Structure 1
Amino acid sequence: MTERIGLFADLHSNLEAFEACMSKAEELGVNRMVFLGDLVGYNADPVALIERIADLVESKKAIALLGNHDEAIFKDSRNQMNAHANAAIEWTKAQLNDSHVQFLKNLPLILHEENICFVHASAHNPANWNYVTDSMSAWRCAQNSGKSYTFVGHAHEQALFYQSAVGKLIRFSPRPGDEIPVLRHRQWVGVVGSLGQPRDGNPEACFAVFEPGAEVLTFHRVPYDHFSAAEKVRRAGLPEELANRLITGK
């Protein structure tokens, strides 16, 4: 069976976006899922997200990694986040029970497989939550990964960095639905975008599908009921700015 890995990052307690992406992933024949951190934060369904992902991990259908918002549930990160993010973390803490918190605590920071590295922020000092946004940060990430393929989240916007003939990592902006050849003799860093809080002006949820055997990577955008997700944020008493971001995608 052809392996198709679904790559999902920055879910941020957005149940509507999660369910839409799970449905699309099934349609695309995804048979393994990787959740690249930030399961919680910002939005209104942390319990549902954690429980669904925990079930997938327990059934060996998925792996999940730790993100900085997940870490903030059990470690004081107030000095590292803005006021809206901190408000959402404090609200989220009040929703979770001990088993939810323990699940987050047990998530690995980085995972290396034969030719792939999975991490939330960057393989370069992953606990420092560095962003991969330009050629230099992508190069540092790839150098520390040591793998042909490194998949990350954290930056909330989809991007692909590829190794040039002189070793420099060059940024490429993928078009949703395009199959991109990613030959393993180069190094690649894929930023899969945010499922739960897109920030590129398009409110549609982001994820990507990697086919290791075919050496193909495809980025996807998925429409979902972002108005309902935003209304849940408002009803929860979370900052209005967080609801607005879901509607505008900014």
Structure 2
Amino acid sequence: MSERIGLFADLHSNLEAFEACISRAEELGVTRMVFLGDLVGYNADPAALIERIADLVHSKKAIAILGNHDEAVFKDCRNQMNASANTAIEWTKTQLSDSHVQFLKNLPLIVQEENMCFVHASAHNPSDWNYVTDSMSAWRCAQHSGKSYTFVGHAHEQALFYQSAVGKLIRFAPHPGDEIPVLPHRQWVGVVGSLGQPRDGNPEACFAVFEPAAEALTFHRAPYDHFAAADKVRRAGLPEDLANRLITGK
């Protein structure tokens, strides 16, 4: 069976969304998983999510990348985040054991394999947490990656950038479920969207599946009980706007 890589980003402690996406990915025949950072933050199940991902990583079924919210658990990043994000990180710290924190500390900033690159923000200065949102930021990311395929998170909306004949990276809005041919003679930057806190007006969780041998990429949305996840946020005493974001997808 050829490799199918499940790509998940910005999980943000959302256990309900995580379980829905993993279940759907398994139905799609995913053979390996890549978690593109921001495992924690915003939502109410940081410990459970870290434990599930750590089990997958330790069993060699997955790799995980460091995100800026993960880094904020063990480094002072308060001046880089808004008030709600900071409140959620401070609460998250109270929920994690030393082993949870150590797992986050050990996550790499960037992983490169053959013709693929995995990073949370951008391959261009990964520790600066630059967003890939337009042609120029995608071009910088691809140039510093040097790979045919670069997969990122950080920006919470799904997008695909592809290299034109003159080298410019052009943004394409993928339609969930449509298989996209991604031939390796071009450079591609896939922004896989947020599993744990979508922001495009659709509350369904985001992920993507890449098939290297078939040179195909498919973006997916997974419905889940976002009302239950929002209720957990409220019961944890986290900011109301974080619960509302799960319900509205904005």
Q: Same fold (TM over 0.5)?
A: yes
Matching residue of 1:32? 32
The residue type paired with residue 67 of structure 2 is: G
Q: Aligned equivalents of 1:30 and 1:156: distance in 2?
A: 22
Matching residue of 1:13? 13
Which consecutive residues of structure 2, in runs of 5 or more, have no partner in the other structure? none
Residue identity over aligned pairs, in percent, reads 89
Q: Aligned equivalents of 1:112 and 1:227: distance in 2?
A: 37
Matching residue of 2:79? 79
The residue type paired with residue 242 of structure 2 is: L
Matching residue of 1:167? 167
Q: CA deviation at 1:55?
A: 0.2
The residue type paired with residue 220 of structure 1 is: H
Q: Aligned equivalents of 1:124 and 1:26: distance in 2?
A: 32
1:178 aligns with 2:182: no
The residue type paired with residue 190 of structure 2 is: G
1:205 aligns with 2:205: yes
Q: Aligned equivalents of 1:226 and 1:2: distance in 2?
A: 33
1:101 aligns with 2:101: yes
Q: CA deviation at 1:231?
A: 0.1
> Deviations along 1:122-148, whole A, 9 cap, x unmatched?
000000000000000000000000000
Q: Aligned equivalents of 1:124 and 1:186: distance in 2?
A: 18
Q: Aligned equivalents of 1:14 and 1:128: distance in 2?
A: 25
What CA RMSD, in Å, does the superposition of the two structures yield over aligned residues?
0.2
The residue type paired with residue 101 of structure 1 is: V
Aligned residues: 250
4+ residue segments displaced more than 6 Å: none
Q: CA deviation at 1:213?
A: 0.1
1:118 aligns with 2:118: yes
Q: TM-score of the superposition, structure 1-length normalised?
A: 1.00
The residue type paired with residue 229 of structure 2 is: A
Q: CA deviation at 1:47?
A: 0.4
Q: Aligned equivalents of 1:8 and 1:23: distance in 2?
A: 13
Q: CA deviation at 1:105?
A: 0.1
Matching residue of 1:249? 249
Q: Aligned equivalents of 2:243 and 2:62: distance in 1?
A: 29
Q: CA deviation at 1:18?
A: 0.2
What SS does structure 2 have at the residue aligned with 1:73? helix
Matching residue of 2:226? 226
Which consecutive residues of structure 1, in runs of 5 or more, have no partner in the other structure? none
Q: CA deviation at 1:17?
A: 0.1
The residue type paired with residue 19 of structure 2 is: E
Q: Aligned equivalents of 2:142 and 2:229: distance in 1?
A: 35
